[in-house]
Structure 1
Amino acid sequence: MDRQPINISKAGEQHHQYENALKKMGYSIRRLPETPELPDGVFVEDAAVVFDELAIITRPGAESRRPETETMAEVLKEYRELHHIEAPGTVDGGDVLVLGKNVYIGISQRTNREAIRQFGQILKPFGYNVHGIEVTDCLHLKTALTPLEDDLLLINPDWVDGDIFEDYHTISVHPDEPYGANVMRRDNWALCPEAFPRTAELLAERGYDVITVDQSEMAKAEAGLTCCSVIVE
């Protein structure tokens, strides 16, 4: 993606709208301490993956991002037992898709097979199965698909092999909205960027109460909706 300057003031306003949307969906918001020296720190999803039984602190693929995990670990230790990915493993949380006891991890520019192996070791005692998936043409696996229900996925089939998910029902995004697959759902709420009206229409037609937010500034850094939060149920 060609880089464009991000309007920081506008990005802050949009992030506030995002927080308000999450509140409407029933979440409470907890902010990490500000780290202006870590400009990618707003994309908190990449720093940790939370399961019912534990949380895994990642080791981001970009070396400059690895200090982001410190403040995340300080907060998450209040909620979960922590495990850490160690060198030479690298993984961004945006590459990790959890579907029940199946964990799909994208093999990407940021995530390698060693990290996937470590995920498998950490999660095996809790009955999880970990699968590595090749990711093409997008930054993270969850750029290409996210779950709408336990057995229903919204997917861009051009960016990830849909045959891998033959045990799930899938809905393909409109070809005009390749980045539309990254949405968030809770109960009957569905959150979607307003830049993807066809995706919003698709969700509404399936009976979801759709909330749209302007995410245009974050999108300049290839961010999706899930990038900017870590959900702890």
Structure 2
Amino acid sequence: MSLAVIESRSFPRYQAVSELKMSAFKYNFAVVSRIPDSFTTRCKGENLDLTEARKKHYDLVETLRNMQLDVLELPPDERHPEGVFVEDIAVVINGTALICNPADSTRQGEVDTVRQVLRKELKLKIVEIEDQKAYVEGGDVLFTGKEIFVGISKFTNAGGAQAVARAFPEYSTCAIKVFGPNHLKDYMSMAGPDIIAISNSDDAQKTFKDMQLQSSFGYDLIHLEEDKAANVVFANGHMVHLPTEEIPKSIGVYENKINYDRKVVAFKEMLKATNRLSSSVLLVSKIRHPKKITSTLQ
């Protein structure tokens, strides 16, 4: 099925969106991790202002609280400078948490911490990956509310995609090739029910073509000029995106096309160490929404 493209229309406000469509994007909790001093070692050749990064991360946390989310903050861990990127460590859908297996073995300490929080604090059903050669990071898993796309990248392999399919058999799961050096969500993210924000970059568009061939459903698309603009956080009827100065070529698209609540978080310092806003947030829903779809991955 082809994915429909948005041309010029605006979207209805959250109140006008059906409860059925919105239910997949209702979350109770957000797990975040405070920034350790060692975070500066993650910079991609740029000097990082640690104080400013922490300030903007705090702004993100406060924004999440204003989205009717209870925020669980993990303490900073100097042993794991990437620990702030909690999205990569687990995939949570319908009250079930798949504990990811990052390709980088140095991140296993992060896995232990997040597993404990999800199991003991949030009482989620925990699914482990038995095959240690199966790698997957949450940044490569896009849940649309109807189906799951798993990007095959340098962070996630076919075994990891199969682990996702087994963890969430009620949803169809499609493995797609991610072009370029990034995670799938560096190129696209859910900007609302049935709405995908996607970058116009060559790698993003080539990745999308594979996704388009395998999708079982239709989606509206928001095309954006910058990769980092295409990554947003959508939860409980609110969308978080970057400010004008960080996405000057794309901000007008959000201003003109999105008619429900938008929240802006500056993330310039954090983006010196990551490619996406959502990497610092692990959204959790403890409400289960029954489905009867069988996964397509064996």
TM-score of the aligned structures, taking structure 1 as reference length: 0.91
2:8 aligned residue = none
2:55 aligned residue = 13
Instruction: Name the SS of the counterpart of 2:230 in structure 1.
Output: coil
Assess if the C-alpha contact under 8 Å between 1:48 and 1:55 holds in 2: yes
CA distance in 2, matches of 1:199, 1:26: 27
CA distance in 1, matches of 2:263, 2:249: 13
Alignment partner of 1:217 out of 232, 245, 269: 269
Deviation string 1:164-209 (CA, Å, 9 cap, x unpaired) is 24621111112xx232100112344221112114433322322133
Deviation string 1:86-141 (CA, Å, 9 cap, x unpaired) is 310111111000112411011111101111112222222xx111111111124210
- State yes or no: 1:191 paired with 2:240: yes
Aligned AA for 1:61?
A
Q: 1:198 to 1:212 in 2, by over 3 A?
A: farther
Larger Rg: 2
Deviation string 1:39-93 (CA, Å, 9 cap, x unpaired) is 0000000010101141100011211112101110111013311011231011111
CA distance in 2, matches of 1:21, 1:181: 19
Assess if the C-alpha contact under 8 Å between 2:186 and 2:227 holds in 1: no
1:91 aligned residue = 136
CA distance in 2, matches of 1:33, 1:4: 25
Residues paired across the two proteins, number: 229
1:70 aligned residue = 112
Instruction: Name the SS of the counterpart of 1:40 in structure 2.
Output: helix
Mapping of 1:151-190 within 5 angstroms? 151-157=194-200, 158=202, 159=204, 160-162=207-209, 164-165=211-212, 167-174=218-225, 177-190=226-239
Q: CA deviation at 1:222?
A: 2.4
Q: Which moved more, 1:110-119 or 1:191-200?
A: 191-200
Q: CA deviation at 1:152?
A: 1.2
CA distance in 2, matches of 1:133, 1:5: 34
Alignment partner of 1:202 out of 236, 239, 253: 253
Aligned AA for 2:189?
T
1:81 aligned residue = 125
2:102 aligned residue = 60
- State yes or no: 1:105 paired with 2:154: no
Query: Any gaps of 5 or more consecutive residues in structure 2?
Result: 1-42, 286-298
Q: 1:150 to 1:14 in 2, by over 3 A?
A: same
Q: 1:162 to 1:208 in 2, by over 3 A?
A: farther
Assess if the C-alpha contact under 8 Å between 2:44 and 2:273 holds in 1: no
CA distance in 2, matches of 1:118, 1:187: 28
Assess if the C-alpha contact under 8 Å between 1:33 and 1:71 holds in 2: no
Would you identify which runs of 4 or more consecutive aligned residues in structure 1 move more than 4 Å?
none
Deviation string 1:202-231 (CA, Å, 9 cap, x unpaired) is 223221332211111111122311100111
Which gives a bigger RCO, structure 1 or 2 (Cα 8 Å, sep 6+)? 2
CA distance in 2, matches of 1:173, 1:33: 35
Q: CA deviation at 1:34?
A: 2.5
- State yes or no: 1:226 paired with 2:275: no
CA distance in 2, matches of 1:185, 1:118: 25
CA distance in 1, matches of 2:89, 2:224: 27
Q: Which moved more, 1:191-200 or 1:56-65?
A: 191-200
2:167 aligned residue = 122
Deviation string 1:131-171 (CA, Å, 9 cap, x unpaired) is 11111124210111111222111112431224624621111
TM-score of the aligned structures, taking structure 2 as reference length: 0.72
Alignment RMSD, CA only?
A: 1.9
Instruction: Name the SS of the counterpart of 1:15 in structure 2.
Output: helix
